[in-house]
Amino acid sequence: MSLALVLFLSVAAASETLSPPAAVSVTDRNGRVLRTSLPEDLYSVPVLFDDVSPWVVVATLAAEDRRFYQHSGVDPRAVARALWQDARAGRAVSGGSTITQQLSRALEPRPRTFLGKIEEAWRALRLERRATKREILQAYLNRAPYGRGARGIEAAARTYFGISSKNLTLGQAALLAGLPKCPSRCDPVRFPAAAAARRRVVLGRLAAWGEIDAGTLSAALRERTCVTDTARADLAPHFARRELERSGGRPVRTTLDAGLQAELEGTVAANVHALSAYRVTNAAVVVLDNASGDVLAWVGSADFRDAAHQGQVDGADARRQPGSALKPFLYGLAFERGFSPSDRIDDAPTFARGGFSPRNYDNRFHGVVTLREALACSYNVPAVRLVEKLGVPDFLGVLRRFGLTMLDRSPDRYGVGLALGDGEVTLRDLAAAYAALARGGVWLPVREARGDPRGPARRVLSREAAYLVTSVLSDNSARAEAFGEDSPLSLPFAFAAKTGTTKDYKDNWAVGYTPDWTVAVWAGNFDGRPMRRVSGVTGAGPILRDAALALERRYGTRPFPVPAGIREADVDPENGLLAGPGCAGSVREAFRRDRLPRRSCAPQARAGSTLSTAAPSIAFPRPGDVLRLDPSTPAGAQAVALSAEPADAAGEWIWSIDGNDLPEHAARAWWRPSPGLHAVSLTFRPRAGEERRLSETVRVIGAAGS
């Protein structure tokens, strides 16, 4: 409790403090004000007398109370002068109140009557006997009204000039000193001419009383005192509101970068405006620092004040369906289990449990593709096949380990649709999940304020599996088939990115990362209206690109580090075997060290021959595969495509199930499975050479679980 407060309580037995309650400010990581709570609709920042510019003191005395240091609380000369001026004007034009009387009135307002003025004078006299002039003047400077909700000189300096009161110039101090007498009529933002006239009065008195010389007066009059409303800058309104609610009435220094925040707010607004013809009204962005988990930017909507489009809804913390944005975690699980990006998977018509038949975004099937192509191009059918192979419970477990704990339903409720985004997540938590991939499989909790404790890190995926996902997501060539070479995801630095779009076009997403930062974007409508065929790459994608370029300018980038357990090798793009003289070509592929291909392509036949001499093998089923029949789907619709490689080998393929040959003698054949343990064998009879026979065992689980 301040000395001035103790003195006042002993005099007036009042409960008010000499200084008003300070506003609670939310600042960025460098102390820049983002938002301020306004108790009683006021903005107040108490300041000590020694921390105020000396110009403020002399200008305040010139404006309010020249004889402050001579009187004892009431100035008889000022009272007489006021009475004479009022009599001449025929109305009250001057009050004659001293600074001590004004402070007394501010602490305990009284009616502006004759008796009220008498009580105010008595209280001022009592206060002067208990407090020093310095304490009284400090209390006044912290209580005086300066307009626009600013209570006190420090709040006024920040509001109008964006600086501390200790840095005020003479011209600025004179302008502010003149405001308490007429805070509304002399508002320098609305009425700059009136404020300037009042400033000239204050400066003129200082010159007339010998406080400043003619040269100083001339310089102060020429000084341009441009005012703004900087203290009310409302950067990151959703985020600041969130922090104020959990501040407990204490100032909060957040992790945000105000400069980046301001740039991204403009980026979101501009892009949403450009997408308005496609029925896009909102977007949100979250940026994380990967090393710490700190939030660097948080844009909750395109315009916080846009009530027509629910601008105060916080899109960064709203639960929405993520579409294909969950696929990287499915492939991460696959790479953890021993799959490689060069492994093949069939993108062909299929029926999942419940009769669900997935389709790709382009409504086409692409045949046998690599896992790299399937993820980079975001094909849906391979993702469904993969989650069937790995199991929905295991995939859901991985998502939860990555912090997506809001996916709290049972695996059966989600089904294989979880691979396509059947569930709801927040942009904030999705950004944290992708940041874990950027860290090489280490998840960190998001940190929003500098004072928050740092949560424990935990490994959720091996370094090698996380790197393989990153390798795919940063491969612009691999995604060119679906998105083109010059999509918004193609940037002039190492950048891993993935998009997501819900099937009804209500939500689209784009998330990208470098080793140092992660940016996540959502675009859509808060009222649930679908957009007009806007995908993640055309809706959220341009915002992601602009945000990533802004981050690169501010924070820089570097290549993704390669874990010690990763090896690269040249492989045949058609079969994934090590490239050699017999291969049609080669591509560079990344592998876990223990999953490097062991076989090479055999020598090619002479020119003009179509004979493929690569060793034949069963591509599907793989060893240990388990097929599950769906009791809700007609048995005739449940067929499995058996496939062999190389598919172009010249010869005859003969498939047998439990010793019974299938009618199709080709590298691909269809089989309608039944419950039980089955032996799948394949005989290859080349046009020249020895017959090859291969076999696998596959278990089929039917409705009864047999």
Q: What is the tens place of the pLDDT at every residue in 222-245? A: 998 877 654 455 789 899 989 988
586 catalytic? Reply is no
Residue with the two structure tokens 């991985």: 398
3-state secondary structure of 386: helix
- Give residue 225's identity as a one-letter amino acid code: T
Residue with the two structure tokens 């080793």: 515
Structure tokens at 277: 């013809």
Cα–Cα distance between 327 and 568 in angstroms, integer?
Answer: 23
Cα–Cα distance between 469 and 372 in angstroms, integer?
Answer: 9
Mean pLDDT, residues 252-259: 95
CA quadruple 299, 452, 428, 469: dihedral positive or negative? positive
Residue with the two structure tokens 């395109």: 302
Q: Which of 122, 72, 521, 495 is nearest to 286 (CA)?
A: 521
Residue with the two structure tokens 């193609």: 490
Give me the chain's average pLDDT, please.
84
119 catalytic? Reply is no
694, burial (CB in 10 Å: exposed 0-12, middle 13-18, buried 19+)? middle
Cα–Cα distance between 487 and 473 in angstroms, integer?
Answer: 13
For the chain, what's the residue count? 706
Structure tokens at 299: 């844009």
Tell me: the pLDDT tens digits for 146-162?
Answer: 988 788 999 899 888 88
* Range with lowest mean pLDDT among 128-137, 560-569, 585-594: 128-137
Query: Is pLDDT at 518 greater than 80 in this prediction?
Result: yes
Cα–Cα distance between 566 and 556 in angstroms, integer?
Answer: 25
3-state secondary structure of 574: coil
As a CATH number, domain 3-231 is 1.10.3810.10
**What is the pLDDT at residue 615?**
64
**What is the pLDDT at residue 604?**
47
**What is the pLDDT at residue 21?**
58
Q: Which CATH architecture has domain 265-555?
A: 3-Layer(aba) Sandwich (3.40)
Angle at 494 between CA 488 and CA 499, to 5 degrees: 40
Residue with the two structure tokens 């064998």: 681
Q: Which tops the pLDDT comparison, 319 or 37?
A: 319
What separation, in Å, do the N-terminal and C-terminal C-alpha atoms of the chain show? Answer: 78
Cα R_g (the chain), whole angstroms: 37
Query: Is pLDDT at 282 greater than 60 in this prediction?
Result: yes
Q: Which of 643, 626, 642 is nearest to 699 (CA)?
A: 626
Q: How many CA atoms lie within 13 A of 649 on its CB side?
A: 30
* Range with lowest mean pLDDT among 13-17, 127-131, 349-353, 444-448: 13-17
* Angle in degrees, 0-180, between the axes of helices 114-130 and 3-12, rounded to the nearest 10: 130
**What is the pLDDT at residue 617?**
77
Q: Which of 58, 96, 106 is nearest to 210 (CA)?
A: 58
Tell me: the pLDDT tens digits for 590-623?
Answer: 999 999 998 887 654 433 333 344 567 787 777 6
Q: Are 376 and 475 in contact (CB under 8 A)?
A: yes
Query: Is pLDDT at 2 greater than 50 in this prediction?
Result: no
Residue 158: alpha-carbon gap to chain centroid:
28
Phi, psi values for residue 5, rounded to 5°: -65, -40
**Bridging pattern class, strands 617-620 and 640-645:** antiparallel
**What is the pLDDT at residue 618?**
81
Query: Is pLDDT at 317 greater than 60 in this prediction?
Result: yes
Q: Which of 294, 503, 267 is nearest to 378 (CA)?
A: 503
**What is the pLDDT at residue 361?**
87
Q: Which tops the pLDDT comparison, 563 or 652?
A: 563
CATH homologous superfamily of 609-701: Immunoglobulins (2.60.40.10)
* Range with lowest mean pLDDT among 35-44, 525-534, 582-591, 613-622: 35-44
Would you call the peptide bond into 453 cis, given omega within 30 degrees of 0 as the criterion? no
> What is the residue extent of each domain of the chain?
3-231, 265-555, 568-601, 609-701
Q: Are 460 and 441 in contact (CB under 8 A)?
A: yes
Mean pLDDT, residues 126-151: 86
Q: Are 418 and 390 in contact (CB under 8 A)?
A: no
E-strand ranges in 12-107 read 25-27, 33-36, 43-44
Active-site residue, selected from the candidate residues 324, 342, 378, 643: 324
Percent share of the chain, pLDDT over 90: 50
For the entire predicted model, the pTM comes to 0.67
Active-site residue, selected from the candidate residues 25, 53, 64, 474: 64
Paired with 489 in beta bridges are: none
Q: How many CA atoms lie within 13 A of 450 on its CB side?
A: 13
CB atoms < 10 A from the CB of 30, how many?
A: 10
